[in-house]
Structure 1
Amino acid sequence: MNAPHDGLGGWADRLWDAAVAGDEHAAVDVALAALDEGVDMESLLMEVLAPVQARVGREWAANRITVAQEHTATAVNERVLAALAHHPIAREAARAGESAGRGRITVACIDGEWHAFPARILTEVLRLRGWRVDHLGAQVPTPHLIAHLHRTAPDAVALSSSIATRLPSAHVAITACQATGTPVLVGGAAFGPDGRYARLLGADAWAPDARTAADLLANGPPPRPAVSRQAVDDLPHLDDQEYTLVTESSSRLVRHVMNGLELRIPEMASYTARQRRHTAEDVAHIVDFLGTALYVDDPELFSGFLSWTGSILTARGVPPRTLLPALDLLGERLTDFPRARAMLAHAREALRGDEPEEPVWRTR
């Protein structure tokens, strides 16, 4: 296989073609050929494989690939990553790191976080940099994570989360890890593009990607936490109980919104069971993100999610303003929740646009 003329972008294009076609053998061949042509392993991970996986999400969001193609491409990329992890270059780096005794890092996904690909990229980059890494994988319950830390005493733990609704769980995990004396580095889209939620939740360090994380650790892990604390101490706004009450009543809120939508949107009478189920899932996501926004006290988190959801609907031919009735119905049940109502109003303004001629809900 000849090297692409446009460098790493050419390799990424070839890998994309193989991944979206579901051809894992061709995809692995592309990655191995890139190594043979002189692409270093870290660049292959960070500038070819990771961007291809990110493209999978973007193409699904734009409705240019199906859910099945999204899953297929992700599975292929995971196979490529596994092949690279067992390549002699990676194995030699791991052996050299263990011999040098640089240090030990635990990498894990927050409880409830199934998107393990970024964490696995981090694991392989750290191994290339000479760290001994314990990769615990997706959705690690915090008690099991803490038991692992007690057993292995790593120099630091790196926690990954891509979905913002996992931030309350991340807060608990960060605090629990620090209580063992282990410094915590966090990363992933859940913590915001600038790491604002990492700082809010008390993480010792934040990195936007695996390479930056490895650079931060180059001079050693962050200092070990000196004093343990309670997670709630970081967020005094939680004293108003709005987060707790909204999350505890989430199922009732979803039922109220669904019942109200059936009255407000006549088209729902003809929905199939599948369409009704998807609509309920959409409403549940809205409630979950509202709860998370209350937890971190950030209206932009909620309105950002609604804007993203609106872009998903637009790509599928559904006007974003069809989300507005759900926000109105939530407001009816949250009259005594001033922070929640302010967030609903903020999101409503972000969604306002031209009124569709025939309002409908999601028609997947």
Structure 2
Amino acid sequence: MSSTTPPRHPSSEHADQEVELLWKAVSAADEHTATELVLRILDEGTPPESILLDVIARVQGRVGEEWAAARISVAQEHAATAINERAIVAVSVHSASRATATRGRITVACVDGEWHGLPARLLAEVLKLRGWQVDYLGAQIPTPHLIAHLHNTRADAVALSSSIATRLPAAHAAITACQAIGVPVLVGGAAFGPDGRYAKLLGADMWAPDARTAADHLALGRLPRPEPDHQQFDDLPHLADQEYTLVARNGASLVRSVFTALEDDFPAMRSYSELQRERTAEDLAHIVGFLATALYLDDEELFTGFITWTAQILEARGVPAHSLPPALNLLARELMDFPRAARILHAATRTLTFNPTSAGNAV
């Protein structure tokens, strides 16, 4: 098999067995066993790309699901992710001699503020196996540093990853900056929506739902270089109302105001422990952050989806989700002079009203 030929996939049953074995090691925080496992199945003939995407990536997805269901703690989630990263390194080192750069050069990075680096790392390793020279820059790359790197390396393309939708304004800035110097941009990650709708809105040259699809698309030929004067910001005319800018800039004060008012309107908060109060403030900050992003994109569905997910997470953690509608109403009161924000907040409240199982039967 050449380095540029897509590998065969293992049988579904075989892959499932390997996933279970790796999950057992990862969930037990057993780095040694996890690393030994991936090396063993490599030696048994499973292609490196299949191990990365059909085993390690699936286990990492399960880590996220277990965290969301409150079956593992944040610390356990971090430990499991670190072990999966070590497993990726083991596969990369073991397979280094098989990959020869013959296709071109690609920079892979996470957008500024995005700290979920594992998906980008998986893409970088797959592209190496497919014959690309890859510069993997890791998580949270400020756009000026990314642009400086592209100037120095003359990459054929840049692949940007983002898992959290609140990073989409930063992703937009990075996409536009890269294209302004003539570098095409491929994007991926959950932040861009299940169908890549936000990738198109923000002007990316290509979107892929996963690393394998991204590599397949790139195998068809290099992305055309955008014109040096390429601009996309005019494609978001709704930003002229300044609602996004004002909400984003005043996020901290909005959180403080809503938190204080919530103590009066939601008496249960008065008995919260200090940790519960801290987490409530964090939840409010996430709500304001997602609202700002929804304003940036002019997409209320992004916000309502986040609120529904938040209600489910709260319930999974044994926290009554019936504090969400009062919090949304208080935030709407603070933003009564912001028509788009008010519309989005009211839509989210209605979503909780008509889906009581998602809001703790609270409304």
TM-score range, shorter chain: over 0.9
Amino acid at match of 2:83: V
Q: Tell me the equivalent position of 1:126.
A: 127
Q: Do the aligned partners of 1:93 and 1:130 also contact (CA within 8 Å) in 2?
A: no
- Equivalent runs, 1:284-363 vs 2, <5 Å: 284-352=285-353, 353=356
2:135 partner SS: strand
The 2-side partners of 1:230 and 1:129 are apart by 31
Corresponding residue of 1:362: none
Q: CA deviation at 1:250?
A: 0.9
Residue equivalent to 1:252 = 253
In 2 relative to 1, CA 328–129 (structure 1 residues): closer, same or farther, beyond 3 Å?
A: same
Instruction: Compute the displacement of 1:138 (Å).
Output: 0.5
Residues 200-238 of structure 1: CA distance to partner in whole angstroms, max 9, x if unpaired? 000000000100000010022210002524443120010
- Residue type of the alignment partner of 1:92: S
Aligned residue runs from structure 1 range 163-182, under 5 A: 163-182=164-183
Are positions 1:268 and 2:275 aligned together? no
The answer for the alignment partner of 2:55 in structure 1 is 48
Which residue of 2 is the match for residue 29 of structure 1?
36
Aligned-pair distance for 1:34? Answer: 1.3
TM-superposed deviation, 1:4 = 11
SS for the counterpart of 1:158 is strand
- Matched-pair contact (CA < 8 Å) for 1:4–1:10: no
The secondary structure found in structure 1 opposite 2:258 is helix
Aligned to 1:109: 110
Helix, strand or coil at the partner of 2:195: coil
2: CA distance between counterparts of 1:331 and 1:246?
12
Q: How many Å separate the matches in 2 of 1:103 and 1:231?
A: 26
For the residues of structure 2 that align with 1:187 and 1:221, how far apart are their CA atoms?
Answer: 17
Correspondence for 2:75:
68
Whether 1:93 aligns to 2:98 is yes
Aligned to 2:203: 202
C-alpha contact (below 8 Å) 2:321/2:362 kept by paired residues:
no
Aligned equivalents of 1:315 and 1:275: distance in 2? 15
Task: Determine if contact 1:111/1:169 at 8 Å carries over to the other structure.
Answer: yes
Number of matched pairs: 351
- Amino acid in structure 2 at the alignment position of 1:22: A
In structure 2, relative to structure 1, the CA distance for the partners of 1:33 and 1:266 (3 Å cut) is: same
2:223 and 2:131 map into 1 onto residues whose CA distance is 17
Structure 1 residue 319 displacement after superposition: 3.4
Q: Secondary structure at the match of 1:86?
A: helix
Query: Which amino acid is the alignment partner of residue 91 of structure 2?
Result: L
Match of 2:5 in 1: none
Q: Which whole-Å CA distance do the structure 2 matches of 1:136 and 1:179 have between them?
A: 20
**How far, CA to CA, are the matches of 2:289 and 2:13 in structure 1?**
43
CA distance in 2, matches of 1:24, 1:17: 11
Shift of 1:313: 0.9
Deviations 1:74-104 (A, max 9, x none): 11111111111111xx21233x22xx3x100
Select between 58-67 and 189-198 the one with higher mean Cα deviation. 58-67
Moved more, 28-37 or 131-140: 28-37
Give the superposition deviation at 1:358: 8.6
What's the RMSD between the two structures over aligned residues?
A: 1.8
Q: Which amino acid aligns with 1:40?
A: P
Is the partner of 2:244 in helix, strand or coil?
helix
Corresponding residue for residue 22 of structure 2: 15
Structure 2 residue runs of 5 or longer lacking an equivalent are 1-9
For residues 206-221 of structure 1, what are the structure 2 equivalents within 5 Å?
206-221=207-222
- 1:4 touches 1:11 (CA, 8 Å); kept in 2? no
Q: Distance in 1 between matches of 2:293 and 2:181?
A: 26
Question: Is the 2:184–2:226 contact (alpha carbons within 8 Å) kept by the matching residues of 1?
Answer: yes
Find the aligned partners of 2:361 and 2:184 in 1 and give their Cα distance. Answer: 55
Q: Which piece of structure 1 moves more, 248-257 or 229-238?
A: 229-238
Any unmatched runs of 5+ in structure 1? 360-364
Q: Distance in 2 between matches of 1:240 and 1:358?
A: 34
Per the normalisation by structure 1, the TM-score is 0.93
Deviation for aligned residue 1:273? 2.0
Residues 53-87 of structure 1: CA deviation (Å, up to 9, x unaligned): 01100011011112221111111111111111111
User: Aligned partners of 2:105, 2:286: CA distance in 1, in Å?
Assistant: 37
1:154 aligns with 2:155: yes
CA distance in 1, matches of 2:339, 2:294: 13
Q: Does the 8 Å contact 1:93/1:129 carry over to 2?
A: no
Partner of 1:6: 13
